[in-house]
Amino acid sequence: MDLPVAIITGAGRGIGRASAIELARRDYRLVLVSRTASELEQTAALCGGACQIVAADVGLADAADRVVRQAMSSFGRVDALVHCAGVALMRTVERMTPQEWQAILDSNLSAAFHFCRVLWPIWRKQGGGVAVNVSSYSARDPFPGLGAYGAAKAAVNLLGLALAREGREINVRVHTVAPAATETAMFRSLFSPEQCPPQETLDPAEVARVIAHCITGDLAHTSGEVIYLHKSVKFPAS
């Protein structure tokens, strides 16, 4: 029997890289996606095994088609999607440009839709599949300046519930994992260690283990739910 296949967006670093390593340990073949090929090569080296690299901006509407075509050409199937890619900018409403607003929506929200849209007929034919979308604690309690990011992630939460209900008839599960402050390059581009000490943040590997449990483990029955993860609900001082 062929080993299962997972597409992971945002796989060049952070939660995406940690998810790739975790699923590689579980004998998944991987399609690693991000905008930076060199980061993907580093992730692939850490994973070992069968990895395909696709440098793509998932905020673009046609990226999902290209990535899924590559996955099917290389492996002949896709069993799981882990959508970790995202953009977060610290901008108040009066400072945010329409282009920045759209980029946040495209990478965090629209990409989740586009990948599921392309994968749905494949999963229908295969008899099932699973998507895990990475949301954020900001979806229910946004720090000032992260309103656009929080709004996009709140929409990801609702999209996950809607898609889980649509997918039930074809054995497709959709899970949403919403971590609070996590020790990633994106988080550190927004908050300094003085604002949020490392001991108060999640390790990306902790989040990755929850994602893997949604796909293959004890959390498989949480389709449609939002799983919030946090060490502390305090937000950093401005």
Active-site residue (options: 28, 137, 149, 228): 149
Active site residue 149: yes
Q: Indicate the pTM of the whole model.
A: 0.92
Q: Is 217 inside any structural domain?
A: yes
**pLDDT at position 148:** 94
How many distinct structural domains can be found in the chain?
A: 1
Closest to 219 measured CA to CA, from 130, 138, 153, 108: 130
Residue span of the structural domain in which 126 resides: 5-229
Share of the chain above pLDDT 90, in %: 80
* CATH number of the domain where residue 212 is located: 3.40.50.720
159 and 115 in contact (C-beta within 8 Å)? Answer: no
Q: Is 234 inside any structural domain?
A: no
**pLDDT at position 234:** 42
| CA dist list (Å): 92 to 100, 107, 130 | 11, 19, 35
Does the pLDDT of residue 163 top 80, yes or no? yes
Q: Is 87 inside any structural domain?
A: yes
What CA–CA distance (Å, rounded) separates 5 from 167?
19
Q: Is 17 inside any structural domain?
A: yes
Q: Is 51 inside any structural domain?
A: yes
Q: Is 238 inside any structural domain?
A: no
